[in-house]
Chain A
Amino acid sequence: MTLQIHRKGEAARPSSAPLAQRKAIEIEKIMKKYPIRRSAVMDLLFLVQEEHPEGRITPEATEEIGEICEMTPAEVAQMITFYTMYHREPVGTHVFWVCGTLPCALSGADGLFEYLKEKLGVGLDEVTEDGLFTIKRMECLGACSEAPLVLAGKKMVTKLTRAKVDEMIDRLRGKKSIEDMT
């Protein structure tokens, strides 16, 4: 099954033009930071993943990045599997990174996991049927004093309660911003 999910502000599909042309300006800017091309690989993986409708890095993109960074596809693939923030499998439009490490676990993280799974009807790493959400377990997100918490996409939402989770999900379903949630 292929999911057709529109990511915020992006076209349904990335253009078929090769990555090097499509993102020429961004790539140039990244390359300028480093003396060797390979150092750009991590930024490029984020760039590709963010524009992909399923939020993932495809085998084709892996090859293209390899060409740009002077790496073999296998070397690029090794990066994707090593670093947890890159995905090869589809994820929902909104990824909930839930922290489960001790400080958060001492403040209700286990209950948060259960509530999210029950509310969205999915297990960890799965995509909801509407293609909107994926829950992932993350290790300490560096905000332990405000547990329990979730990194919703790029937005950290802390001191979660059932009511706050409900509001966050309602807003996202209604295509509303959660930027002002803290």
Chain B
Amino acid sequence: MSENGNSTFEPALSEGMVGVIRCGGSEKLADYRAKGGYEGVKRVLEELPPAEVIEQVKEACIRGRGGAGFPAGVKWGFIPKEKKGPHYVCVNADESEPGTFGNRPIMEQRPHLLLEGTIICAYAVQAETAYIYIRGEYYDCIAQVQAAIDELYAAGLLGKRILNTDFSLDIHVHSGAGAYICGEETALLESIEGKRGYPRLRPPFPAIEGLYRRPTVINNVETLACVSLVFQKGVEWFKSIGTEKSPGPKVYSISGCVRKPGNYEAPLGVTLRDLLYEEKFGGGIRDGNKFKACTPGGTSVPMLFEDELGCVMDYEGPREYGTFLGSTGIVVMDETICMTWAALNLMHFYWDESCGQCTPCREGTGWMYKILTRLERGQGEPGEIELLENICKNIAGRSICALGEFATGSLVRTIPRFREEFQAHIDGKCCPFEKKYTEFA
């Protein structure tokens, strides 16, 4: 049992709404306000100078929920204090990491929880415009977030002189059009500027030269939802949940071979075993099968295996095993799943989504895709598994953004662990697994 698996935990981000529910109606402004919503904005705008807001976000230690876990307050602190032109806030709602669907219910069901945090962030870094970059396929999210924005303008909580203070802010939705790479923060900026989503070389960092070459903060949807909670319920409340270095609640997305796939909110630091087996979460492996492997943080991070279920799921825990919490997208594979087949499926994704700017990523993903295809078809040659490992080593750290390294996530820990299984494809000249996925009923 993890020390954080306490039963008193009350879901605050999702309020216990689990799974992906495309409800006709999301939480309306009046309902949100009745629960103390926008009290945070009111207090911030009327009582706290921007620097103090940043201090409190630092104190709450809100780790970026988009994947890297970087403290939001520290990031906001990088924005120049002296204003020489526009500043921007961009909300990363591109959510395209396979196995990750936790931002969706926040936008569909509680859009104001995101918008309140966005307003507080914009005030703290003195931005007058914020863009919410929502992936184009999320039609329901785009509709619900836009409807919530319209409510805010009508209520005087957006636009000129919000709540009769000197602070003015516009929030716009920018729809993506189907490109995973636009979730990378600088590609996202390029996309808003009307260009292909090619990640930028850093420095300069977005805090200095971001959108339209102006200082810009980019935060994930859930990060900003946490900001709302901190200013509604207080820093101490936030820190009372989760672990010391990773406080607060987290939405974990669980999919694949579990009995009850879905989104589950839990305190950061819950163990992987609890998430997979507890009845209130994943409910165990489906069909009574045995657990084989899972991705702890989306498919871009190295996998975890059976003897590693004790992993503490906060920003520190997975690092002990050489992997990361990432997007907390937990994709579960059971004993019937062939790891070569799984890696092949994922390599297709990264090969397809590589923007092609860097040779190691563009060519490397293509080579690995071809090798894995040969292996899975039983046409692999001796030495090709070692070749895969070699390519993995040579991509990491040699590309503009992290996608190149993400592409190796399904292999770096998996090959050493299941080397015989990979090798059997070559020796037996066919895939040793019979059934690789549940039948379509």
Contacts and interface: CB of A to CB of B under 8 A. Distances in A.
Contacts of A19: none
Interface residues of B, number: 60
B337 interface: yes
A69 B194 contact: yes
A99 to B, nearest CB: 9
Contact of B331 (A42, A86, A102, A141): A102
B177 A78 contact: no
B284 to A, nearest CB: 15
Contact of A109 (B131, B337, B437): B437
Contacts of B193: 36, 38-39
B98 A38 contact: no
Contacts of A131: none
Nearest to A147: B255
Nearest to B441: A161
A156 B253 contact: no
B370 interface: no
A46 B177 contact: yes
Given A102-B342, A106-B337, A144-B331, A139 B437 contact: no
A140 B263 contact: no
Interface string A135-149: 000111111111110
Contacts of A138: 137, 178
A97 B136 CA distance: 12
Contacts, number: 168
Given A39-B193, A154-B139, A144 B99 contact: yes
B346 interface: yes
Contacts of B76: none
A127 to B, nearest CB: 19
A102 B99 contact: yes
Contacts of B172: 33-34
Interface stretch (A20-28, A110-118, A169-177): A110-118
Contact of B98 (A103, A114, A158): A103
Contact of A142 (B96, B254, B349): B96
Contacts of B345: 100-102, 105
A162 B441 contact: yes
B97 interface: yes
A98 B30 CA distance: 37
A108 B212 contact: no
A39 B192 contact: yes
A122 interface: no
A110 B333 CA distance: 16
A151 interface: yes
Given A39-B193, A42-B194, A82 B179 contact: yes
Interface of B: 19-20, 22, 86, 95-101, 103-104, 131, 135-140, 172, 174-180, 191-197, 212, 253-257, 261-263, 299, 329, 331, 333, 337, 342, 345-346, 349, 352-353, 437-441
28 contacts: A35-B212, A39-B194, A42-B191, A45-B177, A71-B194, A79-B194, A79-B196, A83-B176, A83-B178, A83-B179, A101-B346, A102-B99, A102-B299, A105-B345, A108-B440, A109-B437, A109-B440, A110-B437, A139-B96, A139-B180, A140-B98, A142-B103, A142-B104, A142-B138, A143-B101, A144-B261, A146-B20, A147-B255
